[in-house]
Amino acid sequence: MNSQDFQLFGEIVKSRSGLVLTEEKVYLLESRLVPLARRRGLESLEALADEVRRTQDERLLNEITEAMTTNETFFFRDTKPFDIFRDVVLPQLLKARAAKKSLRIWTAACSTGQEPYSIAMLLKEEAAKMAGWRVEILATDISTEVLEKAKAGLYSQFEVQRGLPIQLLMKHFQQVGEMWQIDSSIRAMVKFAPKNLLEDLGGMGQFDVVFCRNVLIYFDQPTKGKVLDQVHNILAEDGALFLGGAETVLGICDSFKPVDGQRGVYTSVKGGLMAAAS
Amino acid sequence: MPSCLIVDDSKVVRMVARRILEDLSFGILEAEDGKGALTTCQEKMPDVILLDWNMPVMNGIDFLRTLRSSENGDQPVVIFCTTENDMAHIREAISAGANEYIMKPFDRAIIEAKFSQVGVL
Ligand SMILES: C[S@@+](CC[C@H](N)C(=O)[O-])C[C@H]1O[C@@H](n2cnc3c(N)ncnc32)[C@H](O)[C@@H]1O
């Protein structure tokens, strides 16, 4: 691929999603965009680039952007954050919101749904402590394709074996041919919607917990900072922000601080969630 | 070094599993059916058992029931690893005392995920 075309695709993807395509990602660009070009009857990536220059077709630009997202995810990814959510964050919020009896949780780059469904299964296990509570789990992603899959809640045998304990498979899944489908009672706990993290996030209301995991790593520093500032604006002061294992707020956003002893969990500098009681 | 007994009548499966588990620092023992596995367990209980279902002489579920009712047989973590990929078999295995269940085909990612779930990794 010539460097002008690479630059063209890189700019489209960066400006629309924040994802940074470095030179060593040329192979990724090729493996993902060639099939897309073929579907449009275009022979090569040069032809695709010409089509983009000629038409500036919104749909095409979005398709190119979506094709470049990395959607890898699994149930209870890294385990620990979900333990912290259940054992440290949830008990504190149940106390703090005891009068209101409502909780709002947002998973901000939910991919094919394993993350929000992990949270939903966890909450279902804790249901006894939460009788009469209104809990909302909002799950969003830039890619409409992954959201469709997430809504269906259908997973391959491989997907249900990465991170999902067998007891939870037995409890919450049905076998549908070769696939496994998560029960409608769990599906009903999660609301899926498209949302681009580069957009204005005001208007989403306030959240008590935000999972924004394994998406900031693909952004450059200024973009990470902007997203984190926005997240801070819509996260309750005593709320919790969960980032991925390779992500941090340090040196990027001063509004958050790490929660002592709880890796990957951050809270507002304005007060915030307490460090582990345990 | 924790020990893992691989019970499978397929030599190829045993070899693939051995490679992955040796890489994860397990000491490996092998048996090609449930009966051989019982003999190995009588000598010394392994920490983990990776167990196929369909095998000649003695199958996996019969082995597991015998193991769980024998002395110290409650100790090893038992992970089924089988082509019996349906809910009925999964339920039967778990109620017979299996700790986890892997549906074949498996790979390193699945082995790692399941082994860490039951706390042996
Ligand atoms: C690697 S997945 C992470 C999934 C899950 N959070 C996890 O940790 O397993 C990254 C997701 O971020 C989404 N994404 C990328 N850029 C985005 C943006 N600007 N706004 C919203 N989602 C975005 C991708 O579509 C992809 O599904």
Is A144 touching ligand 1 by the criterion CB < 6 Å?
no
Give the helix/strand (H/E) hosting A104: strand A102-107
- Whether residue A278 is predicted with pLDDT greater than 50 in this model: the reply is no
Query: What is the three-class DSSP state of A195?
Result: coil
Predicted local distance difference test score (pLDDT) of residue A272: 75
CATH of the domain at A38: 1.10.155.10
- Whether residue A273 is predicted with pLDDT greater than 90 in this model: the reply is no
- Whether residue A42 is predicted with pLDDT greater than 70 in this model: the reply is yes
Domain membership flag for residue A50: yes
Q: Which residues of B touch A162 (CB under 8 A)?
A: 109-110, 113
| Region A112-130 average pLDDT | 96
- How many domains in chain A? 2
| Region B102-106 average pLDDT | 96
Q: Which residues of B touch A168 (CB under 8 A)?
A: none
Is A78 annotated in a binding site? The answer is no
Domain membership flag for residue B120: no
A25 confidence band (pLDDT: 50, 70, 90): confident
CATH of the domain at B108: 3.40.50.2300
Q: Which of B6, B85, B49 is nearest to A160 (CA)?
A: B85
Structural domain ending residue among the three candidates A69, A101, A118: A69
Predicted local distance difference test score (pLDDT) of residue A1: 83
Separation between Cα atoms, residue A144 and residue A12, nearest integer Å: 17
Cα A145–A151–A152 angle (5° rounding)?
95
Model pLDDT for residues A78-91, shown as the tens digit of each residue: 999 999 999 999 99
Q: Which of B72, B83, B91, B64 is nearest to B13 (CA)?
A: B83
Domain membership flag for residue B121: no
CATH of the domain at A228: 3.40.50.150
Which structural domain, as residue segments, surrounds residue B9? 3-115
Task: Report the residue from B91, B113, B117 with minimal CB separation from A170.
Answer: B91
Predicted local distance difference test score (pLDDT) of residue A54: 96
- Do A207 and A138 lie in one domain? The reply is yes
- Do A171 and A101 lie in one domain? The reply is yes
- Do A62 and A91 lie in one domain? The reply is no
Percent of chain A with pLDDT over 70: 98
Inspect the interface and report whether the beta carbons of A170 and B113 lie closer than 8 Å: no
Predicted local distance difference test score (pLDDT) of residue B121: 87
| Region A109-129 average pLDDT | 97
- Whether residue A276 is predicted with pLDDT greater than 50 in this model: the reply is no
- Do A58 and A112 lie in one domain? The reply is no
- Do A198 and A235 lie in one domain? The reply is yes
Q: By the CB < 8 Å criterion, does A163 face chain B?
A: yes
The answer to whether residues A138 and A107 touch, using CB atoms and an 8 Å cutoff, is: yes
Domain membership flag for residue B87: yes
- Whether residue A11 is predicted with pLDDT greater than 80 in this model: the reply is yes
Q: By the CB < 8 Å criterion, does A62 face chain B?
A: no
Predicted local distance difference test score (pLDDT) of residue A141: 98
Which structural domain, as residue segments, surrounds residue A96? 80-277
pTM: predicted TM-score of the whole model, two decimal places: 0.95
| Region A102-121 average pLDDT | 98
- How many domains in chain B? 1
Q: Which of A126, A48, A89, A85 is nearest to A273 (CA)?
A: A89
- Do A15 and A125 lie in one domain? The reply is no
- Ligand 1 atom closest to A77 (CA): 9
Chain B's closest residue to A79, CA to CA, is: B117
Alpha-helix residue ranges (DSSP H) falling in chain B? 11-23, 34-43, 60-68, 87-95, 108-117
Task: Report the residue from B85, B101, B116 with minimal CB separation from A166.
Answer: B101
- Do A34 and A167 lie in one domain? The reply is no
CB contacts < 8 Å between A and B, how many?
A: 32
A275 confidence band (pLDDT: 50, 70, 90): low
- Do A113 and A90 lie in one domain? The reply is yes
Q: By the CB < 8 Å criterion, does A170 face chain B?
A: yes
Minimal Cα–Cα distance from B2 to chain A, Å?
22
| Range with the largest mean pLDDT of A37-41, A183-187, B115-119 | A183-187
Domain membership flag for residue A75: no
Task: Report the residue from B87, B103, B106 with minimal CB separation from A170.
Answer: B87
Predicted local distance difference test score (pLDDT) of residue A84: 96
CA A140 – ligand 1 centroid, Å: 9
- Do A41 and A150 lie in one domain? The reply is no
- Do A65 and A87 lie in one domain? The reply is no
Q: Which residues of B touch A114 (CB under 8 A)?
A: none
Is A19 touching ligand 1 by the criterion CB < 6 Å?
yes
Separation between Cα atoms, residue A224 and residue A230, nearest integer Å: 10
Phi, psi (rounded to 5 degrees) for A193: -155, 150
- Do A94 and A167 lie in one domain? The reply is yes
Inspect the interface and report whether the beta carbons of B109 and A162 lie closer than 8 Å: yes
| Region B9-33 average pLDDT | 97
- Do A227 and A191 lie in one domain? The reply is yes
